[in-house]
Amino acid sequence: MKYNIDNISTPWLESYGGVPFNLDYPETSMAETVLATAEREKDFTALSFMGRKISYTLMAQEIERTAKAFHALGVRAGDRVLVCLPNVPQAIYCLYGLNLIGAIASMVHPLSAVGEIVFYLNEASCDIAVTLDQFYAKFLDVKKQRPISRLIIARVSEELPFPLNVGQKLLTERKFPKIDPEGGAVLTWKEFIKGGESVSEDVKARKDPMTEAVVLFSGGTTGVTKGIMLSDLNFNALALQTEAMAHERVNHAKMLAAMPVFHGFGLGVCIHTMMVAGGTSILVPRFNVKSYANLIKKNRPNFIAGVPTLFEAITRNTYLDGADLSCLRGVFSGGDSLTIELKKKFDKFLADHDAGIRVREGYGTTECVTACCLTPYNKEKEGSIGIPYPDTYFKICKVGSNEEVPYGEEGEICLTGPSMMLGYINHEEENASTLRRHEDGHVWLHTGDLGVMDSEGFVYFRQRIKRMIVTRGYNVYPSQIENILEGHPAVQRSCVIGVPDELKMQRVKAFVVLKDGRKDSPELRESILEHCRAHIAKYAMPSELEVRDSLPTTLVGKVAYTKLS
């Protein structure tokens, strides 16, 4: 199918060079598209996981087994299942297995706090969850607050080659709590898969690719976490667009997949794009700079994608000293702004390590899966995030309106295209304010970001209108942290901001005003932070807590967070 839009100016077309602007998208589901790739690629490696190579044929078999196992549990088309896994093969099997039967994978961070997981379950109406054994104890606490009809526990050792699987069991997995079956309410992955062996009928659903396929969580334009409904077309379009923009052969290429699968960047670019193109995703379940560098040296990937903090970390250590990086065909930065200084620094690092490429900065939002704009392969402009993806249209509008501003004038970044979301779950008011029909007759996504477009179509990101903190590539929503802080019995009022950090780009800083009669002390501060640890994911934890007698306010009584630092 073609995605054609009329009556929209496209000054960036001349910048594409050999990249086609209009693409042909499959009218199939995500799973059908990937299984079609598997039919062609057969024995070629689809996934590489800690030394084990999983062929396309084997991956397809595991996807189909997983689909039947979910069907045996009663999961049907339109049902949502919580997938709370890091970058392990079972996450990929769940994603496509659910999609094959018309169900929806709701992907969430496995390091989320108990209260956050309860929120995700409720927001997406999930009654079944999949996680790793190391998070089993946390889910027992979740179940105390919110019933789960079936909890499926996977293990890393089940996907490892010998003897690594034995080592994983003896050195790591034996430390985790013993799994209590709870009368069938809790299943090991093996029991789960075995349950699907009795399913003899064809469980494949006839699915409209324009309908919901995946839920990812993000803060939208208000900074309040919401479930974003994304379709098969959204992901398939993103895959083909990314492949086209790469301007390098992706088929049989290797991508180091360190970005997490619960993030649009990781799921859309590092996994689905590679699975559609017939490449290999090297799964990285846990990131640290040393192991990442070793994976690059050992596997010699052709593509790496990451947030600016990843590239900063690489240049700040010696783990890749003397390494030959001539294998790289593309390095893509997203998830946060890449400073001009860091880009120069990493471009020099690449040149010093025999890579004949430069880092290409992109831009995107979870509301369009992930990337929708990328620096072209043949041209870059300092400070620019590039030009729109194929079939994706950008305009800059006056903030708070649908009125397009002239080239060079700052306003809100708006976009439309085949990767644009279906909407937020149960947030109709914000859907109406975010997805707006303009006078040209098309629906545009208002991103909540300020930017500029020049006369050649190059886009420049300025700052977020929405009050959101990005730390190590993760979105942190101040209002949620403030709600938790103010849940402590000693806290009267709070404000959370992001402050500059050399490594993280931003870190979370919290300001609190104590209730009358409460005195500041090291013990009280630790009590407040301990309260936060019980309800906030580690990456979102305040790194600094400042107690004040009062907080600055605006004329209408709101906390003037811009005056804090």
Domain boundaries of the chain, sorted by first residue: 30-43+52-207, 217-464, 469-563
> Residue 3: its pLDDT value, please?
84
| C-alpha separations of 330 from 151, 322, 486 in Å | 39, 20, 45
Contact yes or no for 291/283 (Cβ under 8 A): no
β-strand pairing of 423-424 with 226-231 = antiparallel
Residue ranges in the chain whose pLDDT is less than 70: 17, 219-223, 466, 554-558
- Helix (H) and strand (E) counts for the chain? 16, 27
Contact yes or no for 502/472 (Cβ under 8 A): no
> Residue 103: its pLDDT value, please?
98
Fold agreement (30-43+52-207, 217-464): yes
CA angle (519 as vertex; 517, 522 as ends), nearest 5 = 155
Contact yes or no for 281/255 (Cβ under 8 A): yes
- In the chain, the percentage of residues whose pLDDT exceeds 70 is 98
Closest-CA residue to 536 (of 493, 487, 465): 487
Model's pTM, two decimal places?
A: 0.87
Q: How far apart are CA 506 and CA 360, in angstroms?
A: 21
Q: Could you tell me the two tokens for 340?
A: 């001009």
Contact yes or no for 256/299 (Cβ under 8 A): yes
- At residue 13, φ and ψ (nearest 5 deg) are -55, -40
Q: Which amino acid is at 246?
A: A
Q: How far apart are CA 80 and CA 238, in angstroms?
A: 22
> Residue 119: its pLDDT value, please?
95
Q: For the stretch 408-442, what's the b/e string if a residue is b when 16 or more beta carbons lie within 10 angstroms of its beta carbon?
A: eeebbbbbbbbbbbbbbbebeebbeebbbebebeb
| C-alpha separations of 544 from 115, 358, 384, 541, 563 in Å | 22, 36, 32, 9, 17
* CATH class of the region 30-43+52-207: alpha beta
Q: E strand or H helix at 20, and its extent?
A: none
Contact yes or no for 265/271 (Cβ under 8 A): no
Three-class SS state of 256? strand
Query: Regarding the domain with residue range 217-464, which homologous superfamily does it belong to in the CATH classification?
Result: ANL, N-terminal domain (3.40.50.12780)
Q: Could you tell me the two tokens for 417?
A: 């295209």
Query: Regarding the domain with residue range 469-563, which homologous superfamily does it belong to in the CATH classification?
Result: ANL, C-terminal domain (3.30.300.30)
Closest-CA residue to 153 (of 121, 191, 182, 124): 191
Q: How far apart are CA 219 and CA 393, in angstroms?
A: 23
Closest-CA residue to 153 (of 142, 137, 141, 164): 137
Closest-CA residue to 255 (of 301, 300, 324): 301
Q: E strand or H helix at 264, and its extent?
A: helix 264-264
